[in-house]
Structure 1
Amino acid sequence: MNLTQEQIAQIENAPILFEWEIIVPFGPTVPIIRLILSLVFFAVFIGLGIYTTAYFPFFTCAISIPVSIQFFVMADNHYHYYLTRYGYYYTRYQKVPEFGYKLTAIFMVLGVIVAIVGTMVIGPMAFVGGGMFLLTGILGKGLPLGPDMTRNYRKIDPKLKYVMFIITEKRKISIKTDPLRTRNNLHLNYPETEKEKIISVFSKILSNPEIYRVKDEDSYLEHPKFEELIKNKVE
């Protein structure tokens, strides 16, 4: 839902009733994907180094690229929520170790050095190694200054009736209007330790909404109340 500057200012300037942070994995299979990619790149660069005898650039890439993949590829998301009476806003960024940003900045500089010096010593193949250093730096967007943080806003309309679903397995809250207005849907994540407090504060802001607790996404999508909301959609 696109908000006006006045609505955003109203949410931001209102007293914060509650705030919390949570780190959300990019996906359940991401650690395995990162490991496979790291092993593939390691094997490829080791093989290229042996085949071309350009040991220095390729062996360096065999170490640096897998390490960069572990830091940057589909990194976990860090959320910080701020809840007010008019809605909430949150910041989100990929949680990458701070030294990782400095590391990629170094890669970008080393890329030029490796390409120039390596070409003088072992020939044009050194450009491959230098190019991979540069690529590693470029992939880390916002570097070397720090994480690329975004801020998002969600408005609460006191005139509407809300229904709140607590999806326990995902540690997620889905809030919808009754009847359903898709532009007013609210979705947020919660840490287990703060769950009941968040529900309590939302219940007051939303004027005692209907609350349903479900185990997972399937139970949520198949819930009779959810199906009723879809059926009574007004937009």
Structure 2
Amino acid sequence: MITAEEKAKIESAPLLYEWEILVPLGPNMHKFRLIFSLTAFFFLIGCGIYADELIFFTILAIFIPPIFQFFVGADYQYHYYLTRYGYYYTHYQKVPEFGYKLTAIFMVLGVIVAIVGTFVVGPMAFVGGGMFLLTGILGKGLPLGPDMTRNYKIINPKFKHVLFVMEARSQLWIKTDPMQIKYNYTINYSKSDEKKIINIFTKILSNPETYHIKSDEEFSKHPRAQELIKNRID
């Protein structure tokens, strides 16, 4: 757990580098989103034809794929700030701006439906209104705006470090030697920032051992990685 003093130390130090990167939820997520959206669209249209409810299922086919494409399966936006004592970053699911407005509309609409409905049909109106309200508040992590909470990672100069460059994912895996679980970090970067970021971390970490890997399998079989895992401290 990083203390308030450590956070202040990281923030107050001169900024060495700053970068942003858009990261998918998982490997091949862009292809998966496209395949899922097309499959869902044609499946729902087929259900509408089979059930003779074409209008209802067409509406679902129009709305469900975009909801998955732009909300549920949206990429994460990372923004990093690197100093000599560590780094901090924000990350949030990059939902289109209209998504936040739609959430607010659901919340307001829920309150209006609940209040007006109470005078018309009685307390049971809160059931319908509550559905709108809960959709807005608890809608699978869809807030009224991006979550700009800062996450902090401190670099401990007492440790030796080993740096693995995961080329396939454009990530840096920073491991201590021996491996201290608390101080092992994964950092995302873009190809254009790769050399700059590696050079800076090489200086901050006092010339760590650096290895380039292309896959998780290669990492798991790497002799240095196996040694670190074997000697890790939880």
- TM-score category of the 2 structures, normalised to the smaller one: 0.7 to 0.9
Per the alignment, residue 171 of structure 1 pairs with 170
TM-score normalised according to structure 2 size: 0.78
Q: Within 5 Å, which residues of 2 pair with 1:66-105?
A: 66-105=65-104
Cα shift at 1:209: 0.5
Measure how far apart 1:49 and its partner are. Answer: 9.4
* Matching residue of 1:35: 37
Distance 1:169 1:62, change over 3 A: closer
Q: Distance in 2 between matches of 1:231 and 1:62?
A: 51
Match of 1:204 in 2: 203
* Change in 2 beyond 3 A, CA 1:70/1:189: same
Task: Report how far residue 63 of structure 1 moved.
Answer: 3.4
* Structure 2 unaligned residues grouped into runs of 5+: 121-126
2:167/2:213 contact within 8 Å kept: yes
Q: Report the 3-state secondary structure (helix = DSSP H, G, I; strand = E; otherwise coil) of the residue aligned with 2:151.
A: strand
Instruction: Give the 3 Å change call, closer, same or farther, for CA 41–67 of structure 1 in structure 2.
Output: farther
Gapped runs of 5+ residues in structure 1? Answer: 121-126
| Identical residues among aligned pairs (%) | 52
Number of residue pairs the alignment of both structures matches: 221
Corresponding position of 1:124: none
1:213-232 maps to which residues of 2 (within 5 A)?
213-232=212-231
Change (3 A) 1:4 1:173: same
Instruction: Tell me how large the CA RMSD over aligned residues is.
Output: 3.6
Q: Post-superposition shift, 1:180?
A: 1.4
The answer to which of 189-198 and 212-221 deviates more is 212-221
TM norm structure 1: 0.78
Asked if the contact 1:38/1:70 (under 8 Å) is kept, the reply is: no
Tell me the amino acid that sits aligned with residue 139 of structure 1: G
Q: Is the 8 A contact 2:82 2:88 kept in 1?
A: yes
Deviation (angstroms), 1:234: 3.9
**Retained in 2: the 8 A contact 1:72–1:140?**
no
The answer as to whether partners of 1:89 and 1:154 remain within 8 angstroms in 2 is yes
